[in-house]
Amino acid sequence: MADTRTAILYRMILPDHACPFGVRAKAMLEDRGFEVRDRILRSREEVDAFKAEHGVATTPQIFIDDERIGGSDDLERYFAS
């Protein structure tokens, strides 16, 4: 499948909490045939470092073709357009 598109998904899965927005974003991508490169942020420190590095306020964050799409609501708008 040479036409498979790849998305990179950074999402939070802590020992006591899996972010529902990350789960939703992954499902939306997979439903549209994307190969998802799942980047799990496993601690509050990893989440905070990621947000600081990328200048974002929330996770998940989705990247398609090296472009930051944003969070799950942004992804929904991306697919709607």
Pairwise CA distance, residues 51 & 45, whole Å: 10
Q: What is the pTM of this model?
A: 0.91
Query: What one-letter code names the amino acid at 18?
Result: A
Tens-place pLDDT, residues 5-30:
999 999 999 999 999 999 999 999 99
Per CATH, domain 6-80 is 3.40.50.300:
no
Pick from 52, 51, 77, 17: nearest CA to 60 = 51
Q: Pick the residue with more confidence: 1 or 74?
A: 74
pLDDT value of position 2: 54
Q: Domain map of the chain by residue range?
A: 6-80
Using DSSP, state whether 24 is helix, strand or coil.
helix
* Residue 51: both structure tokens together: 């947000």
Pick from 53, 41, 37: nearest CA to 17 = 41
The fraction of the chain above a pLDDT of 90, given in percent, is 91
